[in-house]
């Protein structure tokens, strides 16, 4: 049987452009915890459900599973540095958020200036290989203005047409 080329699989996904979000939850000590995420989609409209995939071995997954709540903020195209920071940050650095505010009711942090932001409550989780899929109900939505930050071929770009 031919062996599966995992590198080719990764290369293929580099050809699929996405937006970029910051997922915010809490760490075990109650402080904030932020990570950059693009593996998310609108899973259903009625009721509003969002699907987020995170690496099972990481702190983000442990924090989400324990807290059951998270915020997701879609980044505008001038926030590539924010995306890069929370993709590489240490666990300690993830505890400091960019300017943000608190969503009503759930109290999760949403980033100021996001193109759109949502407060989510985890309804289901399922292991999928080395990742965990979280299905969450969306309890609060905010929509801002601007052009989206994109991630494509390993680089950040803008959805703005030039
Ligand atoms: C553009 C971009 C998108 C990312 N999307 C995800 C994602 O959807 N899920 C994920 O688990 N990690 C994603 N990562 C990696 C995380 O940002 C982070 O580095 C990783 O989760 C390690 O942190 P942890 O120990 O808190 O899990 C992404 C990184 C980049 C640069």
pLDDT for res 162: 61
pLDDT for res 161: 77
Answer yes or no: is 66 within a domain.
Answer: yes
Tell whether ligand 1 has an atom less than 6 A from the beta carbon of residue 50: no
Question: Could you tell me the mean pLDDT of each successive run of 10 residues in the chain, 162 residues long?
Answer: 90 98 97 98 98 98 98 98 98 96 95 98 98 98 97 97 69
Answer yes or no: is 16 within a domain.
Answer: no
Answer yes or no: is 15 within a domain.
Answer: no
Answer yes or no: is 44 within a domain.
Answer: yes
In ligand 1, the atom with minimum distance to the C-alpha of 87 is 17
In this structure, what CATH number is given to the domain that contains residue 117? 2.30.110.10
pLDDT for res 2: 76
Following DSSP, what letter does each residue of the chain receive, concatenated?
Answer: -PPP-HHHHHHHHHTS-EE-EEEEEE-TTS-EEEEEE--EEEEETTTTEEEEEEETTSHHHHHHHHH-EEEEEEPBTT-HHHHHHHHH--TTGGGSPSSEEEPTTT--EEETT-SEEEEEEEEEEEEETTEEEEEEEEEEEEE--S-BEEEETTEEEE-S--
| Report field, pTM of the whole predicted structure over 0.95 | yes
Tell whether ligand 1 has an atom less than 6 A from the beta carbon of residue 60: yes
């Amino acid at each position: 049987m031919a062996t599966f080329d995992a590198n080719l699989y990764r290369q293929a996904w580099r050809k699929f452009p996405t937006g970029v979000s910051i997922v915010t939850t809490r760490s075990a000590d109650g402080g904030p915890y932020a990570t950059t995420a693009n593996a998310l989609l609108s899973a259903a409209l009625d009721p509003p459900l969002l699907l987020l995939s995170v690496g099972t071995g990481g702190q983000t997954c442990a924090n989400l599973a324990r807290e059951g709540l998270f915020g997701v903020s879609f980044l505008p195209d001038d926030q590539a540095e924010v995306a890069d920071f929370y993709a590489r940050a240490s666990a300690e650095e993830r505890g400091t958020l960019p300017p943000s505010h608190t969503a009503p009711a759930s109290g999760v942090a949403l980033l100021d200036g996001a193109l759109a932001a949502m407060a989510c409550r985890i309804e289901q989780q399922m292991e999928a290989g080395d990742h965990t899929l979280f299905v969450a109900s969306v309890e609060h939505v905010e929509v801002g203005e601007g052009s989206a930050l994109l991630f494509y071929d390993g680089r950040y770009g803008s959805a703005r047409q030039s």
